[in-house]
Structure 1
Amino acid sequence: MTDSDVRCVTVEREISHPPEKIWRALTTRHLIEEWLMKNDFGLDLGHRFQLRGDWGHVDCEILDVDPGRSLSYTWNHAHDDPAYRLDSKVIFTLEPTAAGTLLRMEQVGFRPDQKQAFGGAKGGWKIHLENLEKVVATLD
């Protein structure tokens, strides 16, 4: 498989709050649980953590941290069936705007044969980021 075969889900959302608030929601365990999933998140480079749902879990590892600006981690879902195994990377970038912050989420690493996972991520991330915005709105 070449890089041109890899598919990416990208969701951008303008949020009317400063990057600092969004960063808190992206990097604080109890807040992550409110908008995404249960977790044992840690912000240290190389920290391994899991995101857990009723359907199972995703194994993650912190790859890059630029406080208040960007965060990336692996997003790997092991499965007995190779068609459902997912080895990907999630990247969040925050850019200050006049109205607040432009949040961009990219999930890179979908193979062409992973249409169901790709479609699920496209819809799922939109909902998760809507939930993140609701969480951010409750922060002081």
Structure 2
Amino acid sequence: MTENNQLRTINVDQFVARPPEVVWRSLTEPELLARWWASGDIAPVVGHRFTLDMGRRWGHVPCTVTEVEPTRRLSYTFADWTLTWRLVAEGAGTRLFLEHSGFDLDDQQHAFAFRNMSSGWTDVLGKLERDLEPVGGR
């Protein structure tokens, strides 16, 4: 860890033109999560342990759910990091906030992940948004 103990965080703010209940399902149901990000046995239950398949580079990443507020907030450990998803109703859609925290830039793997995921999350959430296009929008 860095000497001054400063960890970095990636924050993403994405509008999704679907209600929070629909977005929540895509974050918490394994078959829906796999369509836009990664396969794994996620469940919105505090203490639930699961893995996400992140391909050859990262393999099966261990995760543990740490916080659940249905349709509003989901947080889980993700390897050395924490992912926190916050959903806020906005009009007929959802403002989705992602906080990917705990990057120690003195650690080579953390620095690599931080550089790639800083822009990578925008691409990933774009896949979510396309997957959840409003009915009649396809």
Where does the alignment leave 5 or more consecutive residues of structure 2 unmatched?
Answer: none
TM-score by length of 2: 0.86
Cα distance in 2, alignment partners of residues 138 and 96 from structure 1: 15
Q: How does 1:37-116 map to 2 (within 5 A)?
A: 37-55=38-56, 56-76=59-79, 87-113=80-106, 114-116=110-112
Aligned to 2:66, the other structure's residue is in SS state strand
Moved over 6 A (4+): none
Could you tell me how far 1:43 is from its partner in structure 2? 1.7
Cα distance in 1, alignment partners of residues 4 and 96 from structure 2: 25
TM-score by length of 1: 0.85
Whether contact under 8 Å (1:110, 1:118) holds in the other structure is yes
Where does the alignment leave 5 or more consecutive residues of structure 1 unmatched?
Answer: 77-86
Could you tell me how far 1:109 is from its partner in structure 2? 0.3
The percentage of aligned residue pairs carrying the same residue is 35
| CA RMSD of superposed structures (Å) | 2.0
Whether contact under 8 Å (1:15, 1:99) holds in the other structure is no
Partner of residue 121, structure 2? 125
